[in-house]
Structure 1
Amino acid sequence: MTITDNDSKFNLNIATDVVLILDEGSAPRTIDIVREGTIQTKTVEFDVTYDTAQSDDFSITPSSPVTFPPSSSSQPITITINDDDDVEGHESFTLTLRDPKGDDCPNGNRGEDYKLHIKIKDNDGVVNWENTACTAMESDGQCEVCLTRTGDLTDSQTVLISAESNSALIGSDFTDIREIRFAAGAARVCVQVQITPDSIVESTETFTLVITAGQGIDIGSQDTTTVTIIDDDGRVGWEQTSYVFSESAGGSATVHITHSGNSGVAVSVTSSSGRVRPAATSGEDFTPVSISFTIPQQTTRYPLQLQIVNDGVDEPDESFVLTLSAIDSASVTQAETTIIITDDDRTPTSPPPPPPRRGRLILGHQKQRKRLR
């Protein structure tokens, strides 16, 4: 008599103690249930244990039980991870093979690989610009922009960026950036956009950075940030090449500095004598000048008061020079101006003597002639 063994040993065709990681929205994954032993028709069931995943996060086809036709040694099951819009982090569930009696494939029916742990990797993170705008002076040379992300932070992620010129030009006014990378575990990343300083006086310029794509991450509503470059290439210079003041002007002697540009300009002014003739003497003919100050933004004509000394001495007209220097990046169009002091201390002259009285002399001559006769 021949006794036919109708026992089967079932396994999942995977590596031992494996955790299968499936991305949310990825293509369905097929896994084979394999059996050893009988070639008769046989069924096997599987149970699903919900760890953190929910029933609407995935589906398995066919549903339990799975039937093995005669001579079949494997039957596939397909796991489909549903793609949703919820930021929920990683989730997991466990698939366990069971025999029709409800036990874990007992009496030798259980193989070594009868359980499968499945981890769903959430792809519903969102990336946004942290701020909608960034403003920098041209001379700063850079402007910091930052991205933030939500969702699963376990892995590194790369976000693609494109730059759109508004009035600032790529290459001449700034260097564009093509991508920004989040390090593993990082929810925020900042980069420096390089701004190109020049010496051209120009208006305020802008450009826009746009998030165009994310690796396994969605683009949020704040997908653009605008960078504003404030030009600080101002120009300053003396309004006139020379000024003339009388010595009696005293403290009412005013000279002017012209200013153009979009920002305030720090300058210094110093006085010197001896370079022009006749030279005014510092401290005796005028109060020496050595000052630094800032011409405010939007001020196109800046007044500077000078102190002329009225010494009461009759002397020739005298001169001294004021030199203007820019402390920051502004250019100087007229660096020097000459101050001419006209003397008004003239010494009064004595009036000329009166002319001789000619009539009396003639009368005297007539009397002398009469005596001689």
Structure 2
Amino acid sequence: MSRSYGHEVTVTGGTATAGTDFPNFDPFSFAVGNTVACDQITITDDTNDEGSETFTLAISTNVATQNPATTVVTISDDDDDADETYSWEDDDYQVSESAGSVTVCMIRTGNNNPQRTIPVSYSSGSANSNDYTQVGSWTFPANDNRECRSIPINNDNTYENDETFYIDISTTDSAGNSITRVTPYRTSVTIDDNDDDITYYWSQSSVSVAESTGAVSLCMRRSATANNVQNVQVSYSSGTAVSGVDFNNGGSNVFSFASNSVQDCNTVTIINDDDDENTESFTAQILSSGNINVGTPSVTTVSITDDDEDNDENIQWSTPSHTFGEASGTVSVTVTKTGGTSRSTTATVAAYSGSATAGSDFNLATTFISIPAGSSSATVSLTIINDGNDEPSESFTLVLSGATNNVGISQSTVTITITDNDPPAAVAAADDDGLTGGEIAGIVVGSLIGIILIAGIIILFPCLLMPGGNMCAGLFNRAPAPAPVTYQGGYNPGYNPGYI
């Protein structure tokens, strides 16, 4: 040949792909005087486990050709016996939440010559994205058969059960080439919770507050910080202090801890009731729940000290007793207030019968008194009933009770005496069926005179019958009888025992 030629060659058909299994190449060139031209085609060793692949080279039709104008190139795969597989080193990893991370390793067996990147996928079990952070693919350098990656674990400081998530090896590498995965191609990661050591407790076991303060702040603490909001339930219980009367929690029974905080405080309203009373108390208790571990003290006692003990304002009757005549009619009794006039007050007045009877001897017109602030007295009105009966003095009692606005009662009772104004009454006339008073008096006087006359007759009658009246005379004027003379033998002829 007197000149050189370059002849184009095209690729047709086949299972091998230009650019993947072999590169594109330039035309064959015949040098001057040569009848044979050779070219070297590079075959790509792609490490894919695949069957033999072919492609066909055809001489361009721009020149005269003779058979064979085409040739078939067969690429025999050398990866058939490599057994390149991927699996996890362990099918279950355990890690404490406080560890911060867990190391998970993937194993490659068989042909470890090529560099290969293996994607993975994550699926949540009881753990979720708040409990761990996903990492990307595992990349094997050439000649490497073990690759490990660290997965961050989030320490959330929430008391909870152990939690699990899963990682699966993909069926293709990052280039989209198929890979063989063997068991275990899924591994689980279990996060052991470490928050059962975090406890919630009151900052103080007891708190004292003056009633006039109006509020008390209760503070709860926890033993460690947390990176999330935590709500804690509290129960309030009345003691001598009563909810709604002495204190009010505003309907809130929840303490809410902000992220990374160790203390939360709530305000409880203290009701200043103006009652003179002893120190009173109530309690607040932390309630345990599934994710709340209660420490000590779990109960705090709030004592409310009374600020009304120094109040000296009292009401009382102006005197302990009053006397009114029966004809007095409407009268007033005064209630006075001592110790100051800064407080208004009201009180109840009640009457209790003694020898004087309500409705017969008196009527109480006032049953309620009111002393405004700035005033120091009030009056109680009552009516004395003039009944016209001759009777001794009678009495009854008035009683004060229920003074309001922290005003005391230093003297609650007063005795009211009613003196009678009626002269002794004449003996009343009898009715038509009996004797009159005059008749009865005449009978009594006549009877006495008759008795005297009868007695005189009985005594004087024997005197009138005796001759000479000597016996009667002797009754009124007689000499003493001579002493008897005693004779020997006991006989006295001059002694007459019947002589007077």
Q: TM-score, normalised by structure 1?
A: 0.46
Larger radius of gyration: 2
Relative to total residues, which structure has the larger strand share, 1 or 2? 1
Q: TM-score, normalised by structure 2?
A: 0.37
Q: Which has the higher contact order (CA 8 A, sep 6+)?
A: 1
